[in-house]
């Protein structure tokens, strides 16, 4: 009789937040898509990824 063992995947590291732009990176000329806009988009994406990661960790803890 063979016993199947499932390998436990290594812990998934949390997503990393985007680097905050340098205070002087905005040229204040009203660019259509400013570096600060890009940062806000990346920050929103990070927060979504973090929420998903936290849910997965909670689900993994509940399954254990």
| Domain range annotation of the chain | 27-64
- Indicate if the pLDDT at residue 62 is higher than 80: no
Per-residue confidence at 10, pLDDT binned at 50, 70, 90? confident
- Indicate if the pLDDT at residue 23 is higher than 80: yes
- Indicate if the pLDDT at residue 11 is higher than 90: no
Taking the CA of residue 34 as centre, how many other CA atoms within 13 Å lie in the half-sphere pointing to its CB?
14
- Indicate if the pLDDT at residue 9 is higher than 80: no
What's residue 8's pLDDT?
66
Chain segment 32-45, per-residue pLDDT in tens: 999 999 999 999 99
Of all residues in the chain, what percent are helix, strand and coil, respectively (each to 5)?
Answer: 45, 0, 55
């Amino acid at each position: 009789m063979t016993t199947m063992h499932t390998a436990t995947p290594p812990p998934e590291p949390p997503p990393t937040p985007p680097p905050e732009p340098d205070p002087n990176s905005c040229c204040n000329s009203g660019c259509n898509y400013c570096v600060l806009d890009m940062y806000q988009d990346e920050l929103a994406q990070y927060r979504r990824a973090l929420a998903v990661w936290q849910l997965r960790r909670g689900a993994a803890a509940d399954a254990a």
